[in-house]
Structure 1
Amino acid sequence: MKKKEEERKKQIMKAAFNAVSSLGYDNVTLQDIANHANVSKGVVHYYFTSKQNILLELLESITNKIYSYEIKEIAKYQTAIEKLQAYINAVFVSPQENKKFYRVYLDFLAQANGNEEYKKINLKFYENCWGIGREIIELGKTEGVFSQDIDSLTNAKMIRAIIDGSLIQWLTCDLEEQHKFYKDTCFHSLLKLLK
């Protein structure tokens, strides 16, 4: 029974992600989420008390999933430059996935101003990202490929800022074929910053 409930909850979370991606945070309703999940609104209510409750769990779930994926990809490599490239590759997954994720994520960020829970989840996500950046920078300093003079935390924050800025700019250009350009440029800009 427990496994079936977990599966149903995952189904509803995936439906919520798809609903927010296509309709936008403000427009999505519990009925929309139920429709995307092919269940009744009552089923959605059984697992989540409110739209806010689902979306809070959704934000936490997707940011945790992304962080776990990034860590797993980086762990496959040994050197700082390889790890940095793996990090960029893990973030710039594909035009379709990046478009879907950032549509949802930017909607959440717009809500974060008035929502302490969203702020907390987002800060935790960024702290995780900064941890990845710091680890790569420290390794690069040890290997002698990154400047000894740079502050690891400051530059870890800049790594994520450049990554997100690149993806947001790509998204607003709305040119799918520019995805690789932004990915490559992001990587080379980060190398310049760190060397």
Structure 2
Amino acid sequence: MVRYKKSEEKRKQILHAAFQALAAAGYDAVTLQTIADHAGVSKGVVHYYFASKEAVLVELLEWLTGKISARETAAVREQTTAAGKLAAYIDSAFAGPSKNRSFYRVYLDFLARASRIEAYKDINRRFYDSCAAISAEVLTLGQQEGIFVRELSPETTAPLIRALIDGCLIQWLMTGSDEDHTAFRDSCHAAVLKLLSI
């Protein structure tokens, strides 16, 4: 049991190092050696846990999107009203300048390849299914509470909510300004409310 735990900890250390390497240098510049350097281990250790750079990156994308989905779902579940759930969802997505910058630098690299690499496409689809489930929960509750437009379909509206969130975060990333992060979050919240509200 102890050996298994150490093995899992080492895998997580390598995944975290891969994330740091991607955030710092970008997809094309990352190799097993740069991942090993960031992890403070030999290239052989990385190769022991992962057959290739691609294997590391597939697991990294799965780990990252799973972590974000879990965090956003937990934040929404703590709230009891549609307004509270929506605010919690957007606040959770706007995790902070440093976290958002690192994640979106890495995530945009993956998205650029998702149309050609089936594994990335599948992971991304599962991530957006999770996002759609959160958005649909918020919308449906708001419709029951009478604060969101009843005619809106969760199937077609839920993806738009995430599109607004990601769009605002990508636009913020392009500004390069930490000071603007809160303003983009607030604008995103206002835009989603405008989309949903009566």
TM-score of the two chains, using structure 1 as the length reference:
0.99
**Paired letter, 1:143:** E
Q: How far apart are 1:114 and its partner, in Å?
A: 1.4
Give the structure 2 partner of residue 175 of structure 1: 177
Out of 122, 139, 162, the position equivalent to 2:141 is: 139
> Aligned equivalents of 1:194 and 1:152: distance in 2?
11
Please name the residue that 2:70 is paired with.
68
SS at 2:78's partner residue? coil
Equivalent residue of 1:147, what SS?
Answer: coil
CA distance in 2: counterparts of 1:61 and 1:7, whole angstroms = 13
What stretches of structure 1 move > 3 A for 4+ residues in a row? Answer: none
> RMSD of the alignment, in Å?
0.6
1:159-178 CA distance string (max 9 Å, x none): 00000000000001111111
- In terms of mean alpha carbon deviation, does 82-91 or 167-176 score higher? 167-176
Q: 2:21 is aligned with what amino acid?
A: A
- SS for the counterpart of 1:39 is coil
The aligned residue for residue 89 of structure 2 is: 87
TM-score (norm 2): 0.97
Q: Extract unaligned runs of 5+ from structure 1.
A: none
Aligned mates of 1:88, 1:176 — CA distance in 2: 17
SS at match of 1:170: helix
Residue 74 of structure 1, CA deviation: 0.8
Partner of 1:54: 56
C-alpha separation between the residues in 1 aligned to 2:87 and 2:125?
A: 24
- Residue 129 of structure 2 aligns to which amino acid in structure 1? E
Give the distance between the partners of 2:194 and 2:154, measured in 1 at CA. Answer: 15
Which one of 11, 19, 22 corresponds to residue 21 of structure 2?
19
Name the % identity: 51
Q: Distance in 2 between matches of 1:3 and 1:149?
A: 50
Instruction: Summarize the alignment of residues 3-14 of structure 1 with structure 2, pairs less than 5 Å apart.
Output: 3-14=5-16
Amino acid at match of 1:101: F
Following superposition, the deviation at residue 77 of structure 1 comes to 0.7
CA–CA distance in structure 2, aligned partners of residues 130 and 99 of structure 1: 23
Distance 1:148 1:107 in 2: 37
Distance 2:103 2:58 in 1: 15
State the distance in 2 between where 1:2 and 1:152 align.
Answer: 42
Residue type of the partner of 1:52? E
Question: Shift of the alpha carbon at 1:113?
Answer: 2.1
In the TM superposition, residue 153 of structure 1 has moved relative to its aligned partner by 1.6
- Matched with 2:39 is 37
Counting matched residue pairs gives 195
Secondary structure of 1:26 counterpart = helix
Residue number among 115, 122, 129 corresponding to 1:120 in the alignment:
122
